[in-house]
Copies of this chain bind each other. A is one copy, B any other.
C-alpha cells in the first residue's frame, strides 16, 4: 500500500482552490501505477469523498505529489474522462463528472452501482444546442424587463401568467404560427408536460395519441388515470380516420412534425381532425414542439387556426431556447380557461416571473426571432451534413423526417435496432432506438430505426459523432435486398 497526501491532506469536506481540491489518495496493491491511480480515483468518487463538480489538481501537481511520471497521471485522467467519471473543459480544469455522483443510498450501505457509461456525444433528441443559448441577449432582456416591471410583478402571481408574456405570445403566435388567440385565453405553464398534466385532469374520457410518440407523455396521462388509444402513424402522420370508431374524447397529435417519425400531418387529415372534434364534441391537443424549425419549405401553420374553439395549442421554449427555462404556454378554447386555471391553482406556483418577463421582452424586441434565425441556419447545416455523410458512408440507410425539427429517423433493416443501439453505445454515442416510442398495444408492427437528435451535441463534436454513428450502423444487406431498396 502506497499512501500519499496531496496538498494539505485528506479532509472530510475537500476545500477547493485554484489548484483543485485537497486530495488524499491511497494507491493499493502493486503493478501498473496508472491502473492503481484510476482505481483510487474511482473509489474516491464512488464513496462521495470527491463530490460531483470538484476540481482535481492539475496532473502535473498530482504527479509531483505522488512521485509518478506526468504522462502516467495524464493518461489516467484521460481514461477517466473517457469512462465518464471526470470531465475536462478548456479553462475549467478536470472535474468530477456530475453523473458520477454516487446514489445517496450507496452511503447507506446498498451495493455500488456500476460506473457511468462512457458517453462522448449526445445524439438523443432531447434539447437544442446548449452552447447556442443566447446568454448576452438573455442578460440584457432580464435587465430591461426587471427595470420596467411594476412592483406587483414581485408579488403573488396570477395563475394565468404575466400579462406582458401573454400579450407578447398572442402577437407572436398569431404572426409566426397562425394561431388565433388573445392574451385572456393563454395560460402559462412550465412546459408541455405541465400543460398535459393540467389538461389530463380537465378533459374527460380517453385520449387518442400517435402510436409512435414519447413514452414520457403516455406515463403522464396514465399517471393521471387517463386511458390512451394509439392511432396508427404513416407517412402522412396519424391516421385520423381511425378516430370515429374509438371512444376517444380528445386527441394529441404532433401536426407540424410527427414525433418522432417526422412527417407533417396531411392537409386532408388536418381538416378531418377538426371535423371529428366538431361532430363529436372532442378536443384536439396540438403539440407544436418544434414548429419553428423548417428547412425545405414554408412552415406549416398551426391546426389551431382552423378552429380555436376545438383546439388547445401547446408550445414551449424547450426546443427553441433551452429546456433549462421552464416556460411553456397553452392557447385554450374560451370554455376551458377556468377549468385549467382551477387545476393550476389560485396563484402562480410553477413558472418564474423573472423568466416570464424576460421572455416577453425577447418576443417584443425581436431577440427571439433573431435567435431562431441563427439556430435555424446552424441546425440546417448539421442536418445537411448528416444526410450527406450517410449518403456517402451508409447509402443503404434511409433517412426520414429531415424537412423540419431537430432530429431525423434512420430506418434500419428489421431485427437490427438493438445491435445498432448497442454498437452506438460502444462508440460513445447516447441515442434512442425507434421501438421505445411505440405505444404498447398498438396494432402497428415494431419498426427498427434510430432517432438521431442533431442539435444537442457541440459544434466541434458533431463531425466526430457522425463518424462514430456510421461505425455503429448495420452493414448493407445482401445484393438482392440492396437492389430492392
Contacts and interface: CB of A to CB of B under 8 A. Distances in A.
A183 interface: yes
A349 interface: yes
Interface of A: 48, 51-53, 89, 92, 98, 101-105, 107-108, 126-127, 130-131, 133, 135, 138-139, 142-143, 146-147, 149-158, 163-164, 167, 182-185, 190-191, 193-194, 216, 322-327, 334-335, 337-338, 345-355, 456, 458
A138 B354 contact: yes
A135 B130 contact: no
27 contacts: A48-B182, A89-B150, A104-B335, A108-B335, A126-B156, A127-B155, A130-B152, A130-B153, A133-B154, A135-B146, A135-B147, A139-B146, A142-B354, A151-B458, A155-B324, A157-B324, A190-B349, A324-B352, A324-B353, A325-B354, A326-B348, A326-B349, A326-B351, A326-B352, A352-B354, A354-B354, A355-B355
Given A105-B334, A335-B105, A156 B323 contact: yes
A101 to B, nearest CB: 6
Contact of A324 (B51, B107, B354): B354
Contact of A51 (B126, B184, B335): B184
Given A130-B154, A355-B352, A167 B53 contact: yes
Given A103-B338, A104-B185, A104-B337, 4 more contacts: A98-B158, A135-B147, A135-B149, A326-B351
Contacts of A184: 48, 51-52, 101-102, 104
A48 B181 CA distance: 13
Contacts of A143: 139, 143
Given A184-B48, A184-B104, A350 B350 contact: yes
A151 B101 CA distance: 19
A233 to B, nearest CB: 24
Contacts of A103: 337-338
A53 B127 contact: no
B108 A131 contact: no
Contacts of A352: 324-327, 351-352, 354-355
